[in-house]
Amino acid sequence: MTPLTGDLLGRTDHLGLLITFEGPEGSGKTTLINAIAAHLAEKGEEPMILREPGGTEIGERIRNILLDMASEGMCSETELLLMVASRAQLVREKIEIGLEAGMIILCDRFADASVAYQGFGRGLGEKQVHALNKLALGKVEPDLTFLCLLPPEEGQKRLHSEATDRLDRESADFHQRVYEGYQAMAVSGILRFKVIDAADTPEEMLNKALGHLKRLDHGLLKYL
């Protein structure tokens, strides 16, 4: 598994902090993000919360195309390019500025999602995804990435009738390949990846995530 660039925690090349949250459908990422944001707010840090695809006006329009059931005939390469286009806009319009301003950024999915969903899920391969991600990201990379892992069959049970977008309704084989992509990241040895067992309760997931954050050497977290 090739890292986005480096794999060292506690980097000081920007003032802010980028924390990304990854995992298959139904893995509790959004709940975890909201809980961490609330905890940070109590400590006097108001984080910027973003999501992928989307997070900007242009990105949200791209998101609508990507997830719309009317886009059922979209080919894998188009899907990847649209994901990367949304990401590039998010990096230039929000993330780079937020990092330079010294903000904590919590992003629901980021570049690793394309490795899992398009690289593994669509079978396009990691090499092609990494090359496009490099163009979209420039010098930006996450300081910490939480991998919320949950077997796809359990995630689908959680979604129930909420599985209404194009990716949610993909085949069980597709979601299994996505899960295997995230599992590969978990055992890659890249230090920024921290596994959170999504079978745990929301409170247990939050406590484990906060434990990892406390070990991250960054001034914005000194009161955590």
**Integer Rg of the chain from CA:** 16
pLDDT at 121: 97
> 207 φ, ψ to 5°?
-60, -40
The mean pLDDT values, 10 residues at a time, for the chain of 224 residues are: 43 78 93 96 93 98 96 96 98 97 97 98 97 97 96 80 75 95 97 96 96 84 71
For 73-127, the DSSP string reads T--HHHHHHHHHHHHHHHIIIIIHHHHHTT-EEEEES-HHHHIIIIIIIS---HH
pLDDT at 99: 96
CB 106 within 8 A of CB 19: yes
pLDDT at 162: 57
pLDDT at 160: 62
pLDDT at 188: 97
pLDDT at 217: 75
pLDDT at 205: 97
pLDDT at 153: 86
Domains present along the chain, CATH in parentheses:
17-221 (3.40.50.300)
